[in-house]
Amino acid sequence: MRAASTEPRLKLFEPKNRVAEGSRMKRVRLKQIINVLSEVAKSDRTWLSDFADDEVKISADLFEILSLYRRLRPSV
């Protein structure tokens, strides 16, 4: 019979222990972040590109308005 080991065991990652992805998400109103997002984009902060592939949830109305604006705005 083997004696119980007193050495610490490596704890392996188990998916069932993983925090649900939704709990890492935060809900905010656009008015809470619009100014800082605008400032960050204008100042071309490199860290903003780290979030380029993040999904952002917006209302269908806002999406439609932004899409129209993008198509109709004068070329810069």
31 lies in some domain: yes
* 46: containing domain: 26-52
- Is 39 inside a domain boundary? yes
Query: Is 33 domain-assigned?
Result: yes
* Domain-embedded: residue 30: yes
Is residue 41 a part of any domain in this protein? yes
The DSSP secondary structure of 7-24, one letter per residue, reads SPPPPPP-GGGSPPGGGG
The tally of domains found in the chain comes to 1
pTM, two decimal places: 0.55
In a domain, 37, yes or no: yes
Q: How do residues 27-76 score in pLDDT, each as one tens digit?
A: 899 999 999 999 999 999 999 999 999 999 999 999 999 999 999 987 65
Instruction: Give the CA angle between residues 30, 69, 59 to the nearest 5°.
Output: 35
Residue 46 lies in a domain: yes
